[in-house]
Amino acid sequence: MAEYGTSVESSASPEKVWKIWSDMSTWGDWNPNVSTMDWQGGFASGTIGVMNTRAGQHHKMKLLDVVPGRSFALETSVVPGTTFRFNCRIDPLNGKSRVSQHVEVKGPLGPILGGMLGPQVSKEFGTLLGNLAKKAEAA
């Protein structure tokens, strides 16, 4: 299954990046697509909530595979017959961090739509990860 995404390097420590990334109340500050996150149950595997976008959309999401300080995934179904899984990761890099985000398009229509939607969905990952890195570096 194809993944589409990117990574950025940050002078911030993985701990600083994680502190901001795992605080969903800050996502609207650095993610150009997110207005607010309405989340229930904290930043833990299995919790659910709604991502409210600046475009006025509301996406039900589920948080999965949380490894504190290291990685997590978000899943949502935006298009019938597909599931979008956003894989988010922080890797230590000689006192700094590599921050990455990739999207997989799964489900019955995933193989058909993934090649079209994956690049489209991931095109702003560089911007949002860059904003996240800058916020962590300033913390």
Mean pLDDT of 5-13: 97
Is residue 102 pLDDT above 70, yes or no? yes
Task: Convert 51-68 into a string of H (helix), E (strand) and C (coil).
Answer: EEECCCCEEEEEEEEEEC
* Per-residue pLDDT tens digits for 38-47: 999 899 999 9
- Residue 26 Cα distances to 56, 101, 104, angstroms: 18, 17, 24
Taking all residues of the chain, what is their mean pLDDT, rounded to a whole number?
93
Mean pLDDT of 66-94: 94
**97/11 Cα distance (integer angstroms):** 6
What percentage of the chain exceeds 90 in pLDDT? Answer: 80
Categorize the per-residue pLDDT at 130 as very low, low, confident or very high, splitting at 50, 70 and 90. very high
Are 129 and 8 spatial neighbours (Cβ–Cβ below 8 Å)?
Answer: yes
DSSP state of 28: H
| Stated pTM of the model | 0.93
Is residue 2 pLDDT above 90, yes or no? no
Structural domains present in the chain: 3-138 (3.30.530.20)
* Per-residue pLDDT tens digits for 62-79: 999 999 999 999 999 988
What percentage of the chain exceeds 70 in pLDDT? Answer: 99
| Amino acid (one-letter) located at 121 | V
